[in-house]
A and B are shown apart, each in its own frame.
Chain A
Amino acid sequence: MPLPPYIKEASESSKKRYQTVYAEKTGAIAAPTAGFHFTEQLLKSLKEKGVLIAIVTLIVGRGTFNPIKTENVEEHHMDEEYFEIDEKEIGKINNQIKNKGRIVAVGTTTIRTLESAYKNGKINQSKGKTSLFIYPGYKFNVVDTFITNFHWPKSTPLLLTCAFGGKELILRAYKEAIDRRYRFYSFGDAMLIR
């Protein structure tokens, strides 16, 4: 399994861990790492509590990782990444939107899929390619709560996180996390923004 270049000391067993427990649609160059924290048991506990689960696919490609090279953030263009959502899953999501229920997205790729497929008050597109780049100022249409990991400085996932949580608050949280010795990036700790 190819690991990110900044992970230099990974053992064979941790290489095998570089997938979510629910990984299914192959082709991604990197894992949607916010999902690493879920075990089968934890998903079961959530279901037992009455939390509903919907599945989308965004095949993580270079778009997510390409560095922003322009000092003016809005001049950056993201490479396209493929996404798809089964009709049954679209039904669950649209039902939730209609009932004004809470939608909790796991990871930046999930958010980008949902926001890309949304049009005229609902999820309207079952597959396509997206180059949606979310940075502060973006108005979220679908997602109410967000689970993510800690991201690289000046990266597109960090800008998305700041768009969702507010830059000052997010950077304050990063500082607190550093002071408390949180673990960062793909194999690192998690963040819940509500």
Chain B
Amino acid sequence: MGIDLLPLIKKTMKLSNFDYELPKELIAQEPATPRDSSKLIVIDRKKQTIEHKVFRDIVDFLNKGDLLVINNAKVFPARLLGKKEITGGKIDLLLIEEMEKDRWKCLIQGSGSIKKGLNIIFGNNKLKGKIEDYDKGIYSIKFECDGKFDDVL
């Protein structure tokens, strides 16, 4: 007669079991400089041990032939604050999806009406946008920038 352990395991899968108290001052407000000078806690699952190192010691824990896999995702500021080129009315724009190079779907909150053909200026004039289309609350905007789009953002 087998005992079904699944309900027992499930009972332990309560969210409150994954709580801990963190003193607020331990929330890092600045990155470590240099990057690899941060601390490294090393956990060995087999030995059930915990060691304290510095991140650059990672070289000692990786061996020839190991494959290190990294995620190259880049953060971009999805929210842009701008103004209408002619009236100076404020525009709060949230980028949703890049359709093609420099052309984005976005949500816009702004003063007054936002019509097709509206020109918007961002920041220090390095970035301009023109509203090209509008459909069900989603605008499409074409950016023109002085330099590389990602860098200007």
Contacts and interface: CB of A to CB of B under 8 A. Distances in A.
Interface stretch (B66-74, B83-91, B119-127, B132-140): B66-74
B152 to A, nearest CB: 12
A25 B13 contact: no
Q: Is the interface of B mostly helix, strand, loop or mixed?
A: mixed
A24 B77 contact: no
Chain B interface size range: 35 or more
B3 interface: no
Contact of B73 (A25, A42, A159): A25
Contacts of B65: 50-52, 101-102
B68 A187 contact: no
A2 B38 contact: no
B73 A153 contact: no
B66 A51 contact: yes
16 contacts: A8-B29, A19-B74, A35-B70, A36-B35, A37-B35, A136-B13, A137-B9, A143-B69, A153-B19, A153-B21, A165-B43, A170-B43, A171-B20, A173-B50, A183-B28, A189-B55
A192 B43 contact: yes
Interface in B1-46: 9-10, 12-23, 26-32, 34-36, 38-45
A87 to B, nearest CB: 15
A38 to B, nearest CB: 7
B127 to A, nearest CB: 15
A143 to B, nearest CB: 8
A88 interface: no
Interface string A47-84: 00111111111111000000010111110000000000
Q: Which of B20, B53, B77 has the most chain A CB atoms closer than 10 A to its own CB?
A: B20
Interface of A: 1-2, 6-11, 14, 17-32, 35-39, 41-42, 45-46, 49-60, 68, 70-74, 92-93, 96, 101-107, 109-110, 113-114, 135-137, 143, 145, 147, 153-154, 158-159, 162, 165-167, 169-178, 180-194
A52 B28 contact: no
Nearest to B52: A180
A25 B71 CA distance: 9
Give 4 closest A-B pairs by Cβ, nearest first: A50-B64, A23-B74, A187-B28, A183-B28
A165 B67 contact: no
Contact of A191 (B31, B40, B73, B98): B40
Nearest to B53: A192
A7 B42 CA distance: 26
Nearest to B70: A106
Contact of B72 (A50, A55, A147): A55
B74 A46 contact: no
Contact of B67 (A45, A102, A109): A102
B56 interface: yes
A45 B150 CA distance: 29
B14 A23 contact: no
Given A46-B59, A51-B62, A74-B10, A101 B30 contact: no
A32 B18 contact: no
B75 A28 contact: yes
Nearest to B38: A189
Nearest to A183: B28
B48 interface: yes
